[in-house]
Amino acid sequence: MKKITVGMMMLIAVLGACKKDKTDPENAAGGNATVTASNYGFDNGSSGKFSSTTAGIVQTNLPSVAGIDPSTFSITAIKDGTKESLNVIVFKKVTATGVIKFGAKLSGNGGATLTKDYTKPTDKEINYSTDNATGGGELNITKIDGKNVEGTFYFVAFNGTGKQAFVEQGTFKGVIN
């Protein structure tokens, strides 16, 4: 859990510190993607639709160390007009279409988080993760063409007190930074 949580906090910090370059949209950090979910919710309730028009998709391309590829692929989105956010991270370079499953017994694949307030990453009551005993989901890369990528996702996550959050029928589309 610490591995995913630390990774998500670093990703939020990086994307939050970036400014969009209005003079060169191709080189803008973050904001080159849209993320939606038909339904999401916290604590066994439904919050309706999740929509982020300034999401970021980032792929790190790091050299292998001792046969281990430290590259990551991540999607970070803050719901428009709120502090709610979701993050999906895959612990490998994504180069082709396909399904990547994640959960407690698959934490080596990556994971997902959903939070009520991205400015409070250490609050165990408002941050939910698939890295707990019963959380899980999947990311489906349906199209990847150079730097453009799109797909679907869903996940169920739990907070530090055992309460559940979920994201259903999630979609993403954008430019990989």
For the stretch 71-90, pLDDT in tens is: 899 999 999 999 999 999 99
Give the pLDDT confidence score for residue 134 in this predicted structure.
78
Q: Looking at residue 44, what is its pLDDT?
A: 84
pLDDT tens digits, one per residue of 26-53: 444 456 999 999 999 999 899 999 999 9
Instruction: Evaluate the CA torsion angle 173, 175, 176, 177 in order and state its sign.
Output: negative
pLDDT score at 107: 67
Cβ neighbours for 85, distance < 8 A, ≥ 6 positions apart: 12, 76, 77, 78, 79, 114, 115, 118
Structural contact between residues 157 and 168, judged by C-beta atoms closer than 8 angstroms:
no
Determine the Cα–Cα distance for residues 92 and 115; give it in Å rounded to an integer. 24
Say what the pLDDT of residue 105 is. 73
Nearest to 73 by CA among 17, 1, 149: 149
Q: Which domains does the chain have, with CATH numbers?
A: 2-11+34-175 (2.40.128)
Residue type, 142: T
N-term to C-term CA, the chain: 26
* Lookup: tokens for 49: 């639709």
Helices (H), the chain: 2-17
Q: How far is CA 93 from the centre of its chain?
A: 15
> Looking at this protein, which amino acid is placed at residue 80?
D
